[in-house]
Amino acid sequence: MIGLEVNSDKFKLIKREKGKIINAIEGNLNDFKKIGGPLFVTCSTPKAIGKVYHGKVSPKVLEEEIGVSFEVRHKVFKKNDETFTFIGGVERETYKNVLGLLKNYGLGSLSRLDFSPFVFHDLLYYFNFPDKVKDFIALCYTDTCLYYAICKSSLVELVSSMERGNDFEMVSDLIKTFFEEGLSNIVITGNFPKDIKTDLAPLIEDGEIEIINPFFEFKIGVSKDFNQPAYALALGVTL
């Protein structure tokens, strides 16, 4: 099973067999050579929004909330015997551009195609962070985008994305906005700056900063060390 995170013309790849990681590489899509096995792909996007609604969502509400120019991911799930619907929207033009890009590089036959903000959303639930941490801001850094999620009372209510730039200023603004609403913890993964915990510590007062390394439950069969959190989305799309 192969997980591929695509950022523009760059990629990060994880190949795994059940609980063992057997390859981890990155490079340019021009140099990509498909390795045998089901291919699961997540693509970066700086313009995406994901929201959670109580109950099921009608097409009318969907159109009012997301609009008609978005490609929508729709998932109904239960939590504590309540029904919720996660709606993720990516601009249709972005979606078409991604399909064209993947086809150009010979990646047209896929077991899964998703977008990184929504894979990040799923990753948080896969490792049970909403129930463990309950109220937090989650950050996922990639080479081109910064994704963030807002979790309140063990429910991830919002997922969004922005292009990377002045990362510290952007994250500071998020912290100031949502800590006023009672969020006191930060969960981080991806290709984040090495001093991020030190940099953010003065901003969160009594909160906690936790790093997600999704490889902790996998046996690593790769010959050389690699920055495991930086491959979080490449792994996450296979889970």
Whether the predicted pLDDT of 148 surpasses 80: yes
pTM for the predicted model, two decimal places: 0.92
* Rounded CA separation 81/191 (Å): 36
| pLDDT over 70, % of the chain | 98
* Rounded CA separation 105/19 (Å): 29
Kindly state the average pLDDT of the residues 194-217. 89
Kindly state the average pLDDT of the residues 228-234. 96
* Rounded CA separation 112/126 (Å): 17
CB-CB neighbours of 138 under 10 Å = 25
* CATH of span 2-236: 3.30.420.260
- Of 96, 188, 102, 199, nearest to 149 by C-alpha is 188
Question: What residue ranges do the domains of the chain occupy?
Answer: 2-236
